[in-house]
Copies of this chain bind each other. A is one copy, B any other.
Amino acid sequence: MKSPLRLDIYRRMLTIRKVEEAVADNYSKQQMRCPIHLSIGQEAVPAVLSAMMTHQDRVYSSHRCHAHYLAKGGNIEKMIAELHGKATGCAKGKGGSMHLVDASVGMMGSSALVAGSIPLAVGSALAIQRAGKKDLSVAYFGDGGSEEGIFYECLNFAALKKLPVIFACENNLYATYSHQSARQSVTDISKRGAGFGVPSERVDGYDLKAVIDSCTTAVERARSGQGPTLLEFMTCRWRDHVGPDHDYAVGYRTEKEVAEWMDRCPLKLLEAELLKSGELTSADKLQTENLIKTEIETAFHRASQSPQPFTPETFDDIYA
């Protein structure tokens, strides 16, 4: 494993964690008046994938898009402003938490319809291929997203055309409060790629080395014209499906279940490793943390100061 890559991944993960915690902490102030689906606990996969991507590479996401946006390098100020419904937001306040977008870094947007953006990512890959480029496109979706028929249509099409797309399924075992086993006859989602000739793998999303290895292969496959990959990453969302809180009280899963994942937190483990190996010094760590902290504080401050959009803007951006 190349050291700069691991440091890059670390920084991305840390950024996501810190921004998400800040969102959670500030949510009760009722200034972010939109539903939020936090990514805390699911930082590793997008951090790794984005570390292997350029801004020309494309990402499409779902309702749970914060990590994907941040990992891809999406602008933090614009994200926080968007959550605050401000005109300075990444979607000018039109989108909110479920529709984060930053075209300048290849974050192409997020759909609040489960699995709804998977074909858009495939279309992006088609465009890349038609243009003869070496870029790739990533479709993020959850275990629930794998239940929508459109996903299989996309697997078939992408394999048929050998498109440079990675189907990145973050399997956190639940759709809202419904366990995967109540919804799927075979819970190993990666088993469904074979029927379409899509190389597929189930990966422990908390095992950073495994994530890096599988992503490396998938990215190479895409860039070398060998077509799509389906990666199923086992992961865990630490907070409630929607909202800032822990959700043990709801009763669908135990605190112990989540705690076992937390014990293996890839951010914590990577940090410890990097410190131990000397790739990261305590001073670096502090500096990085402070930088992120400042960036977040600035973002929240600016968001609170930013103007609201005006009523006539409701009618902007409907047509080009």
Residues of A at the B interface (CB closer than 8 Å) are 147-153, 155-156, 159-160, 183-186, 191-198
Contact = CB atoms under 8 A, between A and B. Distances in A.
21 contacts: A147-B153, A147-B156, A149-B150, A149-B151, A149-B152, A151-B152, A152-B152, A152-B192, A155-B185, A159-B186, A160-B184, A160-B185, A185-B196, A185-B197, A186-B196, A191-B194, A192-B192, A192-B195, A193-B195, A194-B194, A195-B195
Interface SS of chain A: helix
B147 A149 contact: no
Contacts of A185: 155-156, 159-160, 196-198
Contacts of A150: 149
A150 B183 CA distance: 15
**Number of copies of chain A assembled together:** 2
Contacts of A191: 194-195
Contacts of A193: 195
Contacts of A183: 160
Contacts of A192: 152, 192, 195-196
Q: Return the 3 tightest CB-CB contacts between A and B, nearest first.
A: A149-B149, A192-B195, A159-B185
Contact of A148 (B153, B186, B195, B197): B153
A201 to B, nearest CB: 14
A151 B149 CA distance: 7
Nearest to A196: B185
Given A149-B152, A151-B149, A185-B156, A195 B194 contact: yes
Given A148-B149, A194-B195, 16 more contacts: A147-B156, A148-B153, A149-B149, A149-B150, A149-B151, A156-B185, A159-B185, A159-B186, A160-B183, A160-B184, A185-B198, A186-B196, A191-B194, A192-B196, A193-B195, A194-B194
A243 B195 CA distance: 33
Given A191-B195, A195-B192, A195-B195, A153 B160 contact: no
Contacts of A155: 185
A92 to B, nearest CB: 33
